[in-house]
Structure 1
Amino acid sequence: MRVLGIGHCNDLAAMYAGMQTRGHDVRAYVRDPASHSVFAGMVKRTDDWQQDLGWVREAGDQGLILFETADQGTVQDALRAEGFQVIGGSALGDRLEADRAYGQQVLRDAGLRTAASHSFASYGQALDFVRSRRQRYVLKFNGAHNPRTRNYIAQTADSRDLAALLDFYCEHEASADTQPDFVLMEHVDGVEIGVGGYFNGQQFLETACIDFEHKRFFAGELGELTGEMGTVVSYAHSSALRVKVLLPLTDVLRDGGYCGYINVNLIANADGLWPLEFTSRFGYPGYAICEALHREPWEAIFRKLLQRPGAQHAGAFRSAVAPGFEAARDFAVGIVLTVPPFPHPHGYAALSKGLPVIPDSSLSPAERAGLSFAEVELRGHTLLTSGTCGYVGVATGCGSSVDSARSRALDLARKVYVPNLRYRSDIGERVSPKVLADLRLWGYL
C-alpha cells in the first residue's frame, strides 16, 4: 500500500514505522515544525502532503490517506468526495469531540442518558454558577487544541476547589488572547470505562474494545489530568457496550461520512451508563495498546474499513455490523513512559530533549513488539528523545488477567533506560476483579 499520514505531531509514527517494516510505502506530513524530529531517520516525512496526492491516486485502491487529528474533518470529507480513500474521521467527528455540548446532544438523540452539562464563555459567569449551585462539577474545555491539563474534577462536594480555580482563571481572563470555551458537567460516581469501535462509513466492524484510562500524572490518581498515563484494553468483553453505546450511533456517523476509529468514554454504575465524551480519532497510547492484541496488521484492518457495503436502512443499527478482525481475548496494559517536564512543554529542550533511549539488550522479540515509541528520533544508530514535551512512548504487556498483563507491562517498562524516566507503577490496579464483577452484574460486560 501507499500510505500518506497527515497529522500535527506525528502521533501515529510507530504505526507508520510498522507498516513500513512490512513493506508498505509510507510518507508522513507533520504540521508542527517543532515535531519534525519525531521518528526522524525511521519514517519518511513529506513537507507538502497536497503535492503527494497524485502519488496516492496512482496507487488506486492501494492508496490510503490517514488522518491523526480531530481538526481536519472538512478536508477529509473533501478528499473523499474527490475519490480518495481516507481513514480518520469527518467534519462530524471533529464536532463530536471538540463541541462537548453538541456531543452530549447527539448521545441523547441516540437514546443514551447524559449528566447535566452547562456551557460557558466566561470564567466569571461559571464562578457565579458554581457558587450558587454548591454541588460537584467537572470542568472540561472545548476544542481539540486545549491542553488536557486545564481540565479539572472538583474534589469537594460543593466544588469549593473548582470555584477557587475558576477565580484564578478569572483574574487572568483579561489578558487572555482568546475567549474561554468550556462546560461544567455534573459529577457522576461510578466506574470510568470507554468503548471504541471501527466505523467503515456505513457500519461498525464487529470487533470493538473496552478501555480503562488512567489520566492522572502520578500513581494514586494524583496530579494533573494528562490525557492518559496508561490504559487497560480488552477486545473480549466489549459486546454489551458495543450494542448499548456504539450501535445506536450508526445512523448519525453514516450520515456524517465518518470513517475510522471512534471511542465513547463513560461512567457506569448500577443506575445506568453516563457517556462523557467522544474521541473521534485514533488515540495515543490507545492505538499502540490495542495493536498488542491484534492478530491482523493495521493495513488489513484498514482494508476492511474501506470495504463499503450497501447502505443499511435508517434505524437498523442493531444489524449494521460488518465482519471484524481477529484479536486476542486477553487484557493489554499500556504504561506511558515520559521524561521531564511532561506533561508540560516548558523547558523540555533544556531538561530532556536529546537524551539517549536504550532498550535492554535482553529484550525478546515479543517484548520489543510491546514497545511503541513516540517522541524519539534515530541519529546514526542511537535512539534519542525528540519532539516537544517528553512523551517517550508506551510499554505494553498482555495476559489473561489485568494483573498478569500489568506485571508484564511493568517488567518491560523497567527494561527501558532513559535518564530521569518516569511512569506510573499502578496502571491497572483499580481495574480489580471486583470492578469487573460489578460491571458484569450491571450488564455492561
Structure 2
Amino acid sequence: MIASVKTKSSLQKKFLFVSRWGESLDIVNTIKLEGHEVKLFIEDKPSKEIGYGFVPKVNQWEKHIDWADIIVFDYTGYGKIASELRKSGKLVIGGTEYTDQLELDRNFGQSELKKHKIKVIPSKEFSTFNDAISYIEQHPNSYVLKPCGETQELKQLLFVGTDDEGLDVIRVLKAYEKSWGNDFGNFQLQRKVKGVEVSIAAFFNGHDFIYPINTTFEHKKLFPKELGVSTGEMGTSMFWTKESPIFEATLLKFKETLAKHQFVGHIDINCIVNGHGIYPLEFTSRFGYPQILIQRAGINEPMGLFLLKLASGEHFKLQTKKGFQVGAFIVVPPFPYDDKKTFNLFSKDAVVVFKRNGKEGVHPMHLKQVNDEWLITGNTGIAVLVTGFGNTMKDAQKMMYNRISNVIINNGYYRTDIGDRWSEDSDKLWSWGLL
C-alpha cells in the first residue's frame, strides 16, 4: 500500500500550458483530473475567460517557469522561447523557430519539401493582388488561394477555385482588394490538384517519431457535403496505423531535420493524393484542433504520462485503440465569422445542457464553468467537441452522434456527415496502394 502511494506521488507532475487561444483547455483539464498540478495561460485577450472554473489560470506564464516540471506550448509562434527553455534544461513540448517557419511561411514550407526531395504542387507567393491577377491571366488554370502568415488563421479567406482558367479566383482577388486593401499581407496561389485530401501526423520526441502514426480526414466546410464557407474545421475522422506509404513519402523524410532542431511535439502534413502521386500541401507543426482531442479518444494511456514520456525524449510505443475515431464541433453564432455584437447577443454565457447524466466524449472548447454549469465564452462561438470511436467508421459515427443528441446548446449547429466520405475515400486509397 505504502509503496504504491509513493509510486503514484512520484509520477505527479506540474504542467504549465502556454496557449494562444485556449484551445488546449480539454487537455489541461484531463491532466488535472489525472492527478497532476496544472496552470493555464491564454495569450489572446478576448479568450482570457476560457477555462475559468475548469483549471487554475495565470496572467504571466513566465513567473511560473521554475514551478513547472513540464511546459507545453499549444501553438506556433513560441518556437524561439521553447528552444531556449529546452537548452536551459526544462522539459518542453512545443515548436522551434524552424518548425514555426514550416507552418507560418508557406513559401518556406514548400522549399523545404523540395529540399527533402518531396514532390510539390506548383505554387507562387504574391504581395499584391494585381500581380496575382496578371499571373493568372498569363497562366490560366484552376488555383487555390491561400493567405500566408497571421492572415491564414482566418480560414474563411481560403478559396478553392473551380474554373479551369482561374476566372473565379480573379473575381475573389478583386473583391479582397476592395475589402482588405494593403492589410491582407502575402498570399499564395497553388495549382489545384484533384484527389483525396488526407493528413498524416505523428508525435516526435526530439530524436525520432513515436509510433503508431495518425491518418486524418478533415471536414473543413460549414455545411454537409462540403458546402459553404471554409471554417478551418467542423469535424474529423481518423485512425492509427503502424505504417503508411504517405508517411514514408513525406514526414519520415524530415526525421533527421526535426532531430537536428530538437523538435518535441506533434507535426502534421496535409496532402492531396491521387493515382499519380502524393502532393503535400502544408504543415501544422503543433497540436491540431480538434485533431489532438479526437486523437485522445483513441489513446489508451493517461495524457499526462504520455506527454511526460514525449518531453523526456523516451522511445516508446503509443498505446492506441484499433478502429476509428471521429469528432464534430458544436458551434454557435457568429461562427465562423468575427462579430462581437452577434456573439454577445446570441451566444455569450449560453449554457451547455446535458439531457442525461454523463459528459463522456464531450470536450469543452471555449467555455468557462460556473456552479458546475458549462457557459460559452471567448468570442468565436466554438462550444464543444464531441467524439466517438468504434471498430468501424459507422460504429464511431453512431457513438458520436448519440453523444451529440445528449447535448442541448441554444442556437447550436454542427455537421451531420462527419466520416461519411470514408467509404468512397478508402476505396480510392486502396486502389492507389496508399493504405
TM-score > 0.5, shorter chain as reference = yes
Q: 1:378 and 1:206 mapped to 2: Cα distance?
A: 36
Matched, 1:169 2:176: yes
What is the TM-score with the length of structure 1 in the denominator?
0.91
Q: What SS class does the counterpart of residue 211 from structure 1 fall into?
A: strand
Q: 1:430 and 1:216 mapped to 2: Cα distance?
A: 13
Matched, 1:94 2:107: no
In the alignment, which residue of structure 2 is the partner of 1:319?
none
Matched, 1:325 2:331: no
In the alignment, which residue of structure 2 is the partner of 1:436?
426
Q: Which amino acid aligns with 1:13?
A: L
Q: What SS class does the counterpart of residue 202 from structure 1 fall into?
A: coil
Matched, 1:349 2:344: yes
- Deviation of 1:237 after TM superposition, in Å, equals 6.6
Determine which of 77, 86, 111 is the counterpart of 1:80.
86
In the alignment, which residue of structure 2 is the partner of 1:416?
407
Q: 1:164 and 1:267 mapped to 2: Cα distance?
A: 25
In the alignment, which residue of structure 1 is the partner of 2:6?
none
Determine which of 241, 247, 251 is the counterpart of 1:246.
251
Equivalent residues of 1:28, 1:44 under 8 A apart: yes
Equivalent residues of 2:18, 2:41 under 8 A apart: yes
Matched, 1:30 2:42: yes
In the alignment, which residue of structure 1 is the partner of 2:354?
359
- Deviation of 1:134 after TM superposition, in Å, equals 1.8
In the alignment, which residue of structure 1 is the partner of 2:238?
233
Q: 2:313 and 2:297 mapped to 1: Cα distance?
A: 27
Q: 1:77 and 1:359 mapped to 2: Cα distance?
A: 42
- Deviation of 1:283 after TM superposition, in Å, equals 1.0
Q: 1:41 and 1:237 mapped to 2: Cα distance?
A: 39
- Write out aligned runs for 1:275-294 (5 A): 275-294=280-299
Determine which of 56, 64, 68 is the counterpart of 1:52.
64
Q: 1:46 and 1:404 mapped to 2: Cα distance?
A: 40
Q: 1:238 and 1:165 mapped to 2: Cα distance?
A: 40
- Deviation of 1:192 after TM superposition, in Å, equals 0.4
- Deviation of 1:72 after TM superposition, in Å, equals 1.1
Equivalent residues of 1:195, 1:238 under 8 A apart: no
- Deviation of 1:171 after TM superposition, in Å, equals 2.5
> Could you tell which deviates more after superposition, 210-219 or 396-405?
396-405
In the alignment, which residue of structure 1 is the partner of 2:193?
188
Determine which of 314, 330, 340 is the counterpart of 2:333.
340
- Deviation of 1:179 after TM superposition, in Å, equals 5.5
- Deviation of 1:144 after TM superposition, in Å, equals 4.0
Equivalent residues of 2:354, 2:406 under 8 A apart: yes
Q: Which amino acid aligns with 2:267?
A: I
Residue segments in structure 1 that go unaligned for 5+ positions in a row: 57-62, 310-321
- Deviation of 1:173 after TM superposition, in Å, equals 4.7
Q: 2:147 and 2:242 mapped to 1: Cα distance?
A: 31
Q: 1:124 and 1:237 mapped to 2: Cα distance?
A: 47
In the alignment, which residue of structure 1 is the partner of 2:5?
none
Deviation string, structure 1 residues 193-235 (Cα, Å, up to 9, x no partner): 0000001111111221000000001111111111110000100
Q: 1:264 and 1:150 mapped to 2: Cα distance?
A: 20
Q: 1:298 and 1:256 mapped to 2: Cα distance?
A: 25
Structure-2 change in CA distance of 1:150 and 1:420 (3 Å): same
- Write out aligned runs for 1:2-401 (5 A): 2-56=14-68, 63-146=69-152, 147-174=154-181, 176=182, 178=183, 180-236=185-241, 238-308=243-313, 322-346=315-339, 347-363=342-358, 368-401=359-392
Equivalent residues of 1:71, 1:144 under 8 A apart: no
Deviation string, structure 1 residues 304-355 (Cα, Å, up to 9, x no partner): 313337xxxxxxxxxxxx4321100110111111001101120212221111
Deviation string, structure 1 residues 166-185 (Cα, Å, up to 9, x no partner): 011222454x4x36211000
Q: Which amino acid aligns with 1:150?
A: L
Residue segments in structure 2 that go unaligned for 5+ positions in a row: 1-12
Q: Which amino acid aligns with 1:167?
A: K
Q: 1:307 and 1:362 mapped to 2: Cα distance?
A: 38
Q: Which amino acid aligns with 2:345?
A: A
Q: 1:83 and 1:307 mapped to 2: Cα distance?
A: 11
Q: Which amino acid aligns with 1:334?
A: G
- Percent sequence identity is 29
Q: 1:351 and 1:240 mapped to 2: Cα distance?
A: 46
Q: 2:203 and 2:163 mapped to 1: Cα distance?
A: 38
Q: Which amino acid aligns with 1:100?
A: R
Q: 2:286 and 2:264 mapped to 1: Cα distance?
A: 9
Q: 1:217 and 1:353 mapped to 2: Cα distance?
A: 21
- Deviation of 1:264 after TM superposition, in Å, equals 0.3
Q: 2:313 and 2:324 mapped to 1: Cα distance?
A: 30
Q: What SS class does the counterpart of residue 231 from structure 2 fall into?
A: strand
Q: 1:245 and 1:301 mapped to 2: Cα distance?
A: 25
Q: 1:157 and 1:362 mapped to 2: Cα distance?
A: 53
Q: What SS class does the counterpart of residue 55 from structure 1 fall into?
A: coil
Aligned-pair Cα RMSD in Å: 1.5
In the alignment, which residue of structure 2 is the partner of 1:318?
none
Equivalent residues of 2:151, 2:185 under 8 A apart: no
Equivalent residues of 1:41, 1:379 under 8 A apart: yes
> Could you tell which deviates more after superposition, 298-307 or 9-18?
298-307
Q: 2:81 and 2:129 mapped to 1: Cα distance?
A: 33
Q: 2:364 and 2:209 mapped to 1: Cα distance?
A: 29
Q: What SS class does the counterpart of residue 180 from structure 1 fall into?
A: coil
In the alignment, which residue of structure 2 is the partner of 1:317?
none
